[in-house]
Structure formats: C-alpha cells, structure tokens
Chains A and B, each alone.
Chain A
C-alpha cells in the first residue's frame, strides 16, 4: 500500500516527489513504517508520521466523515446507556455496562484519533492512537468474552419473560373462572335467601322459578308436582304462564325416570312432553335441563338418621334456555340448578314442618282455652257450693237448734200423752234432720279437704263404753245383744280425734244393729300388729307402727242380713243404699259409711266390710292410727281441766273501792257485782263528786269512760294530782264498751292501770280485780 501523501508533503516540494518517485519501486516491499523512516530523515526535524495510505481525495473525505460520525455515535451510545440506565430502576449488570461503556468509548476514541491520522501527524498522535487501539483491543476482547456469558442470560431472561406472560395469562383465565364461580355462588346464596325467606309453600316455589329465571336468563321455567296418587306429575307452576291448566304427564315416562334416578341436573330433549310448554314455532328451541326436587315428609326424619330417600316423591323442575340463542348449559349453571333444587327441597320441608307445628300449636291453644274455661267453671261451681253451704250451715242450724231446744223444753212441761208423743216425734225428726245437715256439711268439708282432725287425749275405754251405751237402748228394743271386748294391750289413753272416732264407732255399730233382726253385735278392739294389718283387699296398705303411734283394729261382727258380695264396693259410696228395697226402718241419707270412710282415711287407716253373703251376717273392720300419750308431742290433756281453775276465790272482803258511772242501771249492776265479790263500794254519778270522795283508803277507782257528759280522763288526772304520794294513790281502772286501740291508749296515757270491757261478768271482775291488786296492773286487759 502506498502511503498517502497529503498536501503537506507538497510543501516539501520536489524532494517528496523525488522520494516518491524513488520509492515507487521499493515501497511495496518496505514496511509501513519504512516510509516514516525514509521520510524521517527529512522529518526528524518535525517528528511527524506520515499516514500510510494513498491520498485519494474523495474516498479520503468519505472515510474522514464516516470516522467522525462513528466516533460521535460511539461517544453518544454510552451517554444514552447511562441516561437510560439511570432512568430505569433496575439494571443488574452494572459492571457490564461499565465494560461496555469503556469498550464503546475506546472505540470512539480510536475512530476519533483516526481522524488525525489522515494527514501528517506527529508521533505523539501515533502513540496515542496505538495506545487507544491496544486498549480498545483489550476491552473488546474482554467484552467479547463477557458477552459469551451475558447473552445466554439475557436470552433466558427473555424466555422467562415469555413464561411469565404465559403464566399471567393462565392466572387471568383462572381468575375469570373463579369469578364466574363466585358469581354463581352469589346467585345461589341470593336465591337461597329468597327461597328461605318465606315459609309459604307457594311463595317458595314461585320465588324459585322467578329467581332462577332471572339469574340464568331462562326463557321458561316450570315445576311439575306429583299428584296424590303419585302416578302422575302435574304442571303446577310456570314462570310465564299465569295459570297452568292441568297438564299432567305420567310419572313412568323414561325421561322422567332418568331424571329422578340421579340427583344431578340432566339435559333432556326439548321435544319431551315435560318440555313442550310453549307454542312451537320457534326455530331452534334452547337447551332444556331437568332436575329432581325431593319432597321430604315429616315421617322421613327418623331420630337418628338423615331422611331416607327411599320413599320417593319428587317434583320435577324443567329449565329452558332461550331459543334462538346459541347459549349452552355451562357446568357451573348446572351446579347452580342442582344446589337450588336441594335448597328448595329443604325449604319445602321446613314449610311443611312449620305448618304442622302451627296446627298443633293452635290445637293446643284451643285445648288450653277450653281447659281453662272448664277449670274456671269448676272453680266457680265449687265456690258457689261452698258459699251456699256456708250460708246454709248457719241458716239451717239456727232454726234446727231452736226447734230441738224448744221441743226439749216442751217435754219438761205437763203434757197429755198424745201431746207428749207428738212432741217426741217432733224432737226425733228434728234430731235426725240436724244429723243429716251435719253429715252433709261434714262430708262437703271432708271432700274439700278442709276438715281437720281435732286431736286430743282421751280414754279409749270410756269412748267405747259411751258409744255402746248410746246404741244399747236401740239394740235392746230390737232384742239384740251387744258385746264388747277390748284387748288388754290397748293403751288406756290415746291421742286422736275423740269426736270423730265416736262418730265412726256409732256409725258402724249403728249399721250393724240396724241391719240385724236377731242375734246381736259383737265389738272387739285390739292393737293391730303388722301381720294382721296386711289386708288382702288393700294390698297397698303397709302401716308401720312407731314409738309414737299405734294402730287400733276394731271388728264389729253382726248376725244380720249380710251383704251381697257384689254390693260391697258400693257400700262406701255416697247416697247409695245397699238395699234398694229398703225396709221402713231404714232411714238415713246413705252418707254414714261414706263419711266414716273419709274419717278413717284422715286417721291414716282403712275400713272395709266383709260378708259371706245374704243372710250370713257381716263384719265391719276398721283400722285407725292413734297416738300414744306420754311420749313426745303430747298435746294438752283435755280431760284434766275445769275443776282446777278457780279453786281459790280471792278474798276481797272489805276492799274499799269507788265506782263512777252516770248510768243508774249500769251503776247499780256494777255495784252489785262488786258487792257480791265482797268489796265496800262507794258509787258516784258525777266526776266532781268522784274526785271529792276519793280518799287514800280507797284502793281502786272504777271509772266508766264511755260517759258522754263527763270527761273521765280529766277525772283520772285530777285524782292522780290529788294524791301526791304514790303509795296513797288508788289504782284506776276504766270500764268501757269500746275495745278499740284509741280508748286503750287514752286510758294508758292518763295513768289508768287497766281497761275492763263491759258488760262485766262475775268471773271477769274477780280476775281483773285480783290481777290489779296482785300486779298493780291488769295482766290482760279484757
């Protein structure tokens, strides 16, 4: 390559031309630097280097310009890189960038420096050029080596990017799917909510159809319910037809069986009878799906199992997509339909249960009301009866007693025999009537449970004796004997209701006598031991004697007409006569034994009557529980009384007292009382007189405080003032007809020591006076 001489060499003049000419032949063989050496002789002076290529002007120019632009570009590339990298947040290969930048810069530098080498240039420039080139070479080799590693990485980044994009697309797809499912779920929930928000059967079904229709955008939705027989399905509800008129299809259709056999929604042909609901005329009927809706009954819910779906009653729900649309049933839509069908089944069963329970509740309420009413009526009746009895009690007894008393009195007077007989009859009848009244009243009280036994201590022997003494006259009139045997182990005294026990004995023995025409009655009483207590007729009766109580067994055997065994249960019933053909002697209300039984029961005992038959006599046995006296819980002995109370008459003889009463009669009476007791009475009729006559000798002053014109309280105060010394003061006692608190308070306030209520009896006066004198005040204001 011939070196390119620039015009600079022209300045060298001829010599250069000369050199050139000379060199032409040898220049090809000489190395590049040769010309420099050659020229260097001449150039040593300026140390310049000649560019080694020819000076073709145009080409040179283009090369020059290209180099310039290359350098420019090369320098601007790193700048851009830096700029963009700085802008971006992430760039992992920083050192790569540096390296690359260096490479580019150096390349640029090289090209830049090359610009100078087009012309004659100094050695320095050549050296710089060389250095630059060397560096560039190094860096570019390094870069090349580095790129071997980098480029696969970068490529893989690209692959990763593509993979990520794919993944993102996939995720998007799945998201879309989930969203649809969620939508479906929401629809289901909403539907379920709608369905379950009502418990009315029709509303449930209607709502289902409507909601399904709107959710899925159906053209038609229908529900076929089984008929009573279960052999046919009847079109019950549709979405768009208001009143479906009795379409029925037999249940045994194959398509229906197919649907009923699975719990999934089944696609059926639009031409099947259940789907042919709307007038044909559309081109392409939409797809149809049918699903079964199990109708659960109450009886299907066993206690421990879930409802058995063996007893099959299903309804059929048919759903039709709009025709002429290209829509198809999607899986999630089918699932939705299945879920809805189940929910409907549940809702229907709830509705059924609710209906049942409402009916039951209404029934119960009715019954309650009726019962309440009946109870209130019964209560009213009982109250009315009690009121009636309470009134009649008093009203009946009063005249009764009057009659009895007056008749007895009458008997004491002189009467002719006929008159006596008449009066005696009157007396007997009235006694009977009185007994009857008492019996009825007692029985009603017994039944109420309001009768309570009056316990007291009494002598058993005396009781029996007295009872038999009462019966004996009647028995002797009928020429019957009465024997009594009391076992020696019976205690002398017992605790119980003497009166009622007497009544029982009288009743039982009386009956025995009444129904015997000949022979007699034998009464025996003994302590019952647990074995003998076991009565075959009452196996539930297990009396257990204890320390405080014993059971007495009384047997009354008679030789009378006996009782038909069939009649025995009726004996203790009220108002029932054992002999319908009553003899003229039989009287009584038929209440006697009923009352006896109740009394015996109250005494925690048993009573029964045995008979072997008509004409063979009968035995009445009763057992009662009595208390043993002398043990704990001993009630007050009622037979020790009366004689012991006022044995000692307190002696008031000569006791000086003053009496103030303005009522002459009252004054006289009270004075008489006091005189009778033995007092020395000074009776006055005015307050002033009273104050005047009281002296220290008078121990007690009786003041009548119910005098209208006299303020006895004033008198009392004045009397107290009169006696300054306590010991001289007489005791003040008030006599009044008012027993109210005010009077008592007032008396107490003025210093009276006691209040005696008028009218005063002898005993009362005695007790009051002795109390006053003994204690200084009345212990018990009477």
Chain B
C-alpha cells in the first residue's frame, strides 16, 4: 500500500514534469558553445550523456535486482545521473532523479525501480526528441 501511494505521488510528479519542457536553459548554453573549432560539440556531449545515463540506469537496475541491495551505490548512481543531466540541461531527467532519490533514502526497492523506469522513459523520450529534431533543435525560450 505504501508503495502504491508513493508510486502515485511519483506519477503525479512525473505529470508535472511532463508539462515542463524536456530541456532547460542549460541546453541553450551548450549550443552556444558549438563554434567553428568545435562544431559537433553538442552532438558529442549529448551522445556521451545518453551512453552514460543508459549505463547508469542499467547498473541501477542490476543493483536493485540483487538480494542485498547496496543503497549507497544506488545513491551514487543517482547522484551521477543527476549531475550529468543537469550539466546538459535535461530538465526532466534531472528532476526525476531528485524525486526518486527520496526512495533511496527510504531504502524502498520497489519505489526505486519504479522511479528508475520512469527516468528511463524520460531519457528515451529525450533521445527520440533530439534524434527527431535532427540534432539541430532551435533555441527554445522558456515558458514563464
């Protein structure tokens, strides 16, 4: 029952995240860094991010599947993911990490796996987005 409640609140939060943009201002900053000396900067960073994140989330899932879950390790993973996503400006992913880090503090395995799957989903969406936009996304102004 407790899990369901948490899942529910997380889902609600995910809805909020849905309403927000995929990427925040940080991404625009990244785009500004692409110049003649480094034209593919954004692509490189983004690809690195996706690689990293997927690896992290896989590790996370594996760790969660074990008998004795090492919450410290999970916390470290989430921290990493949060750092990466904030550097790149992947807002939803970052917020999702912040949100389901709470499950880690509570040592809630179900919550963690639930959260991680949601984050995975966001990641996937983001990837789709970026790929669909051909890797050249116009600068989005923030909706106030």
Contacts and interface: CB of A to CB of B under 8 A. Distances in A.
Contact of B32 (A666, A668, A762): A762
A663 B84 contact: yes
B136 interface: no
Given A401-B144, A758-B87, A665 B26 contact: no
How many chain A residues sit at the interface, stated as a range, is 20 to 34
A762 B83 contact: no
A673 interface: yes
A670 interface: yes
B33 A665 contact: no
A538 interface: no
B33 A673 contact: yes
Nearest to B46: A665
Contacts of A486: none
A663 B85 CA distance: 10
B45 A672 contact: yes
A401 B143 contact: yes
Contact of B89 (A670, A673, A709, A759): A759
Contacts, number: 73
A398 interface: yes
B48 interface: yes
Interface in A629-684: 663-666, 668-670, 672-673, 675-676
B143 A761 contact: no
25 contacts: A397-B144, A401-B144, A402-B143, A663-B80, A663-B83, A663-B84, A664-B52, A665-B52, A666-B86, A666-B87, A668-B87, A672-B41, A675-B37, A675-B38, A676-B33, A676-B35, A706-B83, A708-B79, A758-B83, A758-B87, A759-B26, A759-B29, A761-B25, A762-B29, A762-B32
A761 B87 contact: no
Contacts of A401: 143-144
A405 interface: yes
Contact of B143 (A405, A666, A706): A405
Chain A, interface SS category:
helix
Contact of B83 (A402, A676, A709, A737): A737
Contacts of A706: 79, 83
Contacts of A673: 29, 33
Contacts of B37: 675
Contacts of A665: 45, 48-49, 52, 83-85, 87-88
Contacts of A759: 26, 29, 86-87, 89
Contact of A666 (B35, B75, B83, B144): B83
Contacts of B79: 706, 708
Interface in B88-116: 88-89
Interface of A: 397-398, 401-402, 405, 663-666, 668-670, 672-673, 675-676, 706, 708-709, 737, 758-762
Contact of B86 (A402, A708, A709, A758): A758
B56 to A, nearest CB: 10
Contacts of A672: 30, 33, 38, 41, 45
A405 B142 CA distance: 10
Contacts of B25: 761
A377 B111 CA distance: 45
Nearest to B143: A401
Nearest to A662: B80
A405, A664, A670 interface centre (most CB from chain B within 10 Å): A664
Interface string B8-52: 000000000001000001100110110101100100110011001
B76 interface: yes
A264 B129 CA distance: 113
Nearest to A764: B29
Nearest to B88: A665
A673 B83 CA distance: 16
Nearest to B72: A708
Contacts of A709: 76
A424 B50 CA distance: 39
B16 to A, nearest CB: 11
A674 B41 CA distance: 13
Contacts of B29: 673, 759-762
Interface string B47-87: 01100100000000000000000000001100110011111
